[in-house]
Amino acid sequence: MQKITHFYFDEIDSTNDELKRRFHSDDRPADWTVVSAGHQTAGKGRSGHEWKSPTEDSVATSLIFYPKVQIRHVPRLTILSGMAVAAALEKLYALPTRLKWPNDVLIHERKICGILCEMEPDGDRAAYVIVGIGVNVHQKDFPEDIRDMATSVDLELKKSEQKMQSSRKDIDRQIWLEFARLYQEFEKTEDLSDLLDEYNKRLVNVNQTVRVLDPLGEYQGKSLGIDRRGDLLVQREDGSIVAVDSGEVHVRGIYGYV
């Protein structure tokens, strides 16, 4: 299993940005270096959004590693990040985690974490891949705009009437252990062949109708699960099966986000 080097800051702008700075410094981080923080002052979300990580209430953690896979295969790797969070929370607290393709982690249909993967190209390879994960842990409430969509570990432990105390440190550690375990499987085949069952058993909307928001035209079909490349297989009404690539399209449930 990979040796992981871990750095912790009480406060930082963004754990993803810290790793990027280190990568471009004279002191490049070792393969599998993790930077975590108690609080981010400029946490980054997807599509240029801000990601709030309130002081000591959440996990903000990022990993840099140097996989040898071709750039076009990197999205396969980012699939592992959602799987790692789901497996960690299930292992530590027996929480019923589900995955919304490609890598949203849901508990009772609410998002428990955000994941931002970044990389820089170096020819047809990635110079690095950074996987940044923010997990809601101790939050008791959320801003109004995300109140109905977000949850935290503590809120879910309360719902399931569990007496267990959550620990940001344990969650942080377990996520990267799970990621390393999954990566070991991935490396054998350079795809998700050996991880399909683990992913698909957690996938929401399997065998249900989903809306595929393709820029070339929206359509509906039955979600069949992912294939070894991480594409979502959707059966259209005419019986044909489309492999949906996460780079281009989003998938929604029929009545809303899930």
Q: How big is the chain, counted in residues?
A: 258
Q: Which of 39, 45, 219, 224 binds ligand BTN (CB under 6 A)?
A: 45
State in angstroms the smallest separation of the CB of 28 from ligand BTN. Answer: 19
Residues 121-140 that bind ligand BTN (CB under 6 A): 132-134
Burial 232-256 (b: 16+ CB within 10 A, else e): bbbeeeeeeebebebeebebbbeee
Taking each helix axis from N to C terminus, what angle separates 74-93 and 168-189, rounded to the nearest 10 degrees? Answer: 140
Shortest Cβ 171–ligand BTN spacing (Å): 13
Per-position x/- string for 50-79, each x denoting binding to ligand BTN as judged by CB under 6 A, each - no binding: -x-x------xxx-----------------
Nearer to ligand BTN, 62 or 78 (CB): 62
174 binds ligand BTN (CB under 6 A): no
Number of residues engaging ligand BTN in binding (CB under 6 A): 20
At closest approach, how far in Å is the CB of 220 from ligand BTN? Answer: 25
Q: From the CB of residue 109, how many other CB atoms can be counted at a distance below 10 Å?
A: 15
Dihedral sign from CA coordinates of 20, 24, 12, 181: positive
CB 133 within 8 A of CB 175: yes
Q: What is the DSSP string of 95-123?
A: --EEEETTTEEEETTEE-EEEEEEEEEET
- C-beta of 15 vs 97, nearer to ligand BTN: 15
- Which residue among 29, 34, 38, 44 contacts ligand BTN (CB under 6 A)? 44
Give the distance from CA 101 to its chain's centroid: 10
- Rounded to whole angstroms, the Cα distance separating 194 from 83 reads 13
One residue of 20, 33, 38, 43 binding ligand BTN per CB under 6 A: 43
Query: Rule CB under 6 A: is residue 16 a binding residue for ligand BTN?
Result: yes
d(CA 148, CA 5): 37
Q: Residue from 21, 24, 28, 49 that binds ligand BTN (CB under 6 A)?
A: 49
- Which parts of this chain interact with ligand BTN (CB under 6 A)? 14-16, 40, 43-46, 49, 51, 53, 60-62, 114-116, 132-134
